[in-house]
Amino acid sequence: MKPYIILHNSVTLDGSLTGFMPDMELHYRLAGDYEPDANLIGSETIIQGQEMFGNGIPAEVPGDFVQPDRNPVLPLWVIIDSTGKLKGMLHTCRRFEYCRDVILLVSEQTPEEYIRHLEERSYRYIRTRGEKVDLQEALELLADRYNVKRIVTDTGRVLGNLLLDARLVDEVSLLIHPIIKGREAYGMFNDVTAEVSLSLTREEKFDNGCVWVVYKTEYKDPPQA
């Protein structure tokens, strides 16, 4: 059985993911309140984060080749990287103090050189069938092997839309900011092709004008068991 998946994002009133400064403290506080076993992240999000907030990629040291010994309450970072884009960069994720450790989701077509790179550094990975990562298979294996029962993902439109189209999202959590981007909006759900019905389960207002809404999902054609 796959983990319970929460899609959590900060958006404008018209659903844009970009072009504004979210209340990051509130965003991450709400995400943390879910107490996830893992955060699901796309490789492009890691790269963009390094470009925005990093000061270059530091050299690896011997400690980067072993799994960290951290509080098991901390979430795992589960990163999708079937092409090996993060080679030479993963240690920056492993060093993050609020990350228990990193698990990679890769595929049959992932370069063997990248697999050796992961194994030499004691990174755990799940390899699925096909050219790209089979999300359904990967998430079921993640639950079975690592007892991951609850996942939060907040990494933007591409991964979020893929998860919705695969009918894998159980809950949508939106922190709506009092801003309208109009023509400049980068709509969070613009590429979703699945028909998704939503049932409101929570609504909360904050002094900064933000509204937090949480919905349960229901799909017209649920995935096959």
Give the domains, in start order, of the chain with CATH numbers: 1-35+156-225 (3.40.430.10), 38-148 (3.40.430.10)
- Percent of the chain exceeding pLDDT 70 equals 97
Condensed to tens digits (0 to 9), the pLDDT of residues 89-116 reads: 999 999 999 999 999 999 999 999 999 9
In angstroms, rounded to a whole number, what is the distance separating the alpha carbons of residues 170 and 175? 17
Query: What pLDDT does residue 222 have?
Result: 66
Query: What pLDDT does residue 155 have?
Result: 82
Output the pTM of the full model. 0.92
Condensed to tens digits (0 to 9), the pLDDT of residues 165-206 reads: 999 999 999 999 999 999 999 999 999 999 999 999 999 999
Spell out the residues 6+ positions from residue 91 whose beta carbon is closer than 8 angstroms to its own: 58, 60, 64, 121
Spell out the residues 6+ positions from residue 82 whose beta carbon is closer than 8 angstroms to its own: 105, 106, 107, 109, 110, 131, 132, 133
Angle at 216 between CA 215 and CA 219, to 5 degrees: 125
* Mean per-residue pLDDT over the chain, rounded: 94
Mean pLDDT of 49-53: 71
In angstroms, rounded to a whole number, what is the distance separating the alpha carbons of residues 35 and 32? 5
Band (223; pLDDT cuts 50, 70, 90): low
